Amino acid sequence: MSEGAKSVQELVRQRNQVLDKLARQQILDQYARIGKNNKPVICGLPGDEHRRVVFDTKEDAEAAVRAFRRMGSTRPQYIEVCPLSKRGHHHIVGRPPATTPQEPTKETADHRATNA
């Protein structure tokens, strides 16, 4: 294969990545809670590497999972109620949800108080 053919393949791969990112963003824009900045609301403690998109209802999260599947996603995706949420918002996670609720830590309680 020539160097030019590899470059074209690389460009196609990059274009597909951009299109996939745009499609994922459209799904989030449709189903996730949207904040004042017109972007999906993110939940998590400051500095937490596992911050997640907020979905107001389980149905919204499930609809987003179905849309991601139609887009070709093969990753396992589960819905869980956020332990930080007072009103019970949901997240899409890559592992099965815990079967028993976790006791809130002081850090979690502080986060709830500031993000009611």
User: 93 with 77: CB under 8 angstroms?
Assistant: yes
Q: What pLDDT was estimated at residue 4?
A: 58
102 or 41, greater pLDDT: 41
The Cα 26–Cα 63 span in angstroms is 13
What average pLDDT does the chain have? Answer: 81
User: 56 with 93: CB under 8 angstroms?
Assistant: no
Q: How remote is the C-alpha of 110 from its chain's centroid?
A: 23
* pLDDT surpassing 90 at residue 10: no
Confidence of residue 49 (pLDDT cuts 50, 70, 90): confident
Domain count, the chain: 1
Structural domain range at position 108:
3-114
Angle at the Cα of 68 (from 66 to 73), degrees rounded to 5? 115
* pLDDT surpassing 70 at residue 41: yes
